[in-house]
Amino acid sequence: MDSPATAGSQLSLQQKHVWKLQGDQQFVSQVAVLLQGDLDQQRLHNALIGIFQRHQILRAFFYRSPGMEFPVQMVEENAAFSCFRSSLPEVDPGSEEDHVRSALRTQAETDLLDGSALDVALIDAAPDRHFVLFTLPALCADFVTLKNLVVELQEHYAGLVSAGNRFQQYGDYSTWQDQSLQNTDAQTQTGRTFWREQSSPLNAPLILQSKKTPEAHAVYVPGTLQVFLPDNVLDKVSASGEDLGNWFLSAWQVLLWQLRGRTDFAIGFVSDGRGHAKLANALGLYTRTLPLRVRLAPNGSFAEHMTATAKSRALAIEHQDYYDRTEDALPIGFITEEEISPQVAHGLRISVYAIRCETERFQLALKCRRSAHTWSAELVYDPAYFDRDAVERLSQQFSTILAAASSNPIATVASVADLHQSQGKLAKAFDPAVHLSGGSIIDNEADE
């Protein structure tokens, strides 16, 4: 697109991080929304137009002159909204899913950076069953943004949105972020000191090495593996009164300690970046990966470790506005997400059918998701580094550690880990003294 490079605003730190991370690949954020019931076509059209016009980030495009490291972010104020519509032939439910996922892949392959960022498609599967597909470049949307899009669709369709409602525009946030990082007040200095201390050489990022060598410039297509969480384990941790996400994070850290033998290390903690109330309903890329320091005491109780973990996570979130590094790519991560409940508006049931968000590139991460009634977990991994068999063993090990800890949270971390090993769940493929080929995790002290 021919546009002057002097217009627009600079990228936020989060956008610069994703820009570097994706390289020549286009990272995307997508959600497929299922509409069930009697669809009012005009009401849906008005809802989509209202959302499109309300948020500048949906009309953003990116321009980079030769020699510029990062593009400039611009907004097309007079952008025209468009929505591609198609119908599915009579198909069985399995084929319907294939068609929707194929349509999402087609959207993901479209150049979303040259022109309005938002790509919308409507698929009519049956007279009372429709899909709305939203696709955005990851530079413009994180997981919470996708959730907020669905919530806004529900509210606009129900006629609950007031034209006078105030909301945060992403360009304003990017400008505020740049200005706040230039401050020299005591609060800013405290935040910067916090992150310098977190970057201590003793606190090096944890790396699980593999003899599987990634190809240069390989396309990132993450794999996922569901983690089995027995109902009795979820019942125990729920009854404890502790945050379930903290249980998962603490058990994940114990497993990582078992695999590498290090008690002081860092992993990537994905924060939604919405520490300010006015950002809760905003659209844009606010999420950021923060280095979370882990200082594990094997002879301390698991309950004490959870307390320390909760404090470490709270401090990271408290100081996240002062984390100004964009180049860090932490290999091991932890992610929490919260699903949104279906809503009925004017007889139409609106719910999330599928969701995908690429704002980070972990080699291995534990993702936990909370719904209205329960929690689920999955391991997200880069097949360029680890094969599925190795990740399946990790999944089993994590489940066993969580079960052991939930049975006796006052037991020492070391005894929880010992129980884990005594039950035969710690596969030799993950023993730090054993080197195996393929995608198995091996010992490599280079990261020490």
Q: Could you read off the pLDDT of 29-38 as tens digits, one per residue?
A: 999 999 999 9
pLDDT at position 74 over 50 = yes
User: Given phi > 0 = left and psi -120 to 50 = alpha, else beta, which region is 362?
Assistant: beta
pTM: 0.88
Determine the pLDDT at residue 78. Answer: 84
Q: Percent of the chain beyond pLDDT 90?
A: 56
pLDDT (0 to 100) of residue 91: 62
Q: Which residues contact 41 (CB under 8 A, 6 or more apart)?
A: none
* Lowest-pLDDT choice from 63-72, 167-176, 232-241: 232-241
Q: How does the average pLDDT of the chain come out, rounded?
A: 85
**What local confidence, expressed as pLDDT, does residue 309 receive?**
95
DSSP, collapsed to helix, strand or coil, labels residue 381 as: strand
**What percentage of the chain has pLDDT greater than the value 70?**
86
Report the alpha-carbon distance of residue 321 to residue 319 in Å, rounded.
Answer: 6
Looking at this protein, which amino acid is placed at residue 374? T
**Banded pLDDT at 422 (limits 50, 70, 90):** very low
Packing angle of the helix pair 302-318, 244-260 (nearest 10 deg): 110
Among 30-39, 159-168, 244-253, 356-365, whose mean pLDDT is lowest? 159-168
Mean pLDDT of 342-359: 94
- The pLDDT assigned to 209 comes to 66
The model's confidence at residue 200, banded by pLDDT at 50, 70 and 90, is: low
Q: Is the pLDDT of residue 6 over 70?
A: no
Q: Which residues pair with 282 in a beta bridge?
A: none
The model's pLDDT over 255-297, given as tens digits with 9 standing for 90+, comes to 999 888 889 988 999 999 998 989 999 999 999 999 999 999 9
Who wins on pLDDT, 420 or 221? Answer: 221
Phi, psi of 352 (to 5 degrees): -80, 125
Q: Both tokens of residue 6? A: 């002097």
pLDDT at 446: 35
pLDDT band at 89 (very low <50, low <70, confident <90, very high): confident
- 375-390 pLDDT, tens digit per residue, is 899 999 999 889 999 9
Confidence of residue 435 (pLDDT cuts 50, 70, 90): very low
CA distance 303 to 150: 37
DSSP secondary structure string for all residues of 108-128: HTS--SSS-S-EEEEEEEETT
Q: What is the pLDDT at residue 50?
A: 93
Residue 349's φ and ψ, nearest 5 degrees, are: -85, 125
What is the per-residue pLDDT across 101-112, written as a single tens digit (0 to 9) for each?
Answer: 999 999 998 888
Q: Has residue 220 got a pLDDT over 50?
A: yes
Domains of the chain: 13-172 (3.30.559.10), 184-339+360-447 (3.30.559.30)
Q: How far apart are CA 439 and CA 362, in angstroms?
A: 15
Q: Kindly write down the DSSP assignment for every residue of 21-82, as one continuous string.
A: HHTTS--EEEEEEEEEE---HHHHHHHHHHHHHH-GGGGEEEE--TT-SSPEEEE-TTPPP-
Note the pLDDT of residue 32: 97
pLDDT at 419: 58
Strand order from edge to edge, sheet including 332-338: 223-227, 375-381, 364-370, 332-338, 264-271, 288-295
What local confidence, expressed as pLDDT, does residue 203 receive?
60
- In this predicted structure, the answer to whether residue 232 has a pLDDT above a threshold of 70 is yes
Query: Which range, 90-94, 163-167, 415-419, is most confident?
Result: 415-419
pLDDT for the residue 170: 93
Beta bridge partner(s), residue 379: 225, 366
CB 287 within 8 A of CB 273: yes
Q: How far apart are CA 278 and CA 294, in angstroms?
A: 31
Per DSSP, the three-state class of 346 is: coil
Q: Is the pLDDT assigned to residue 24 strictly greater than 50?
A: yes
As a whole number, mean pLDDT of residues 426-445 equals 37
Asked if residue 66 has pLDDT above 50, the reply is yes
- Which pLDDT tens digit goes with each residue over 300-328? 999 999 999 999 999 999 999 999 888 76
With a cut of 70, say whether residue 392 has pLDDT above it. Answer: yes
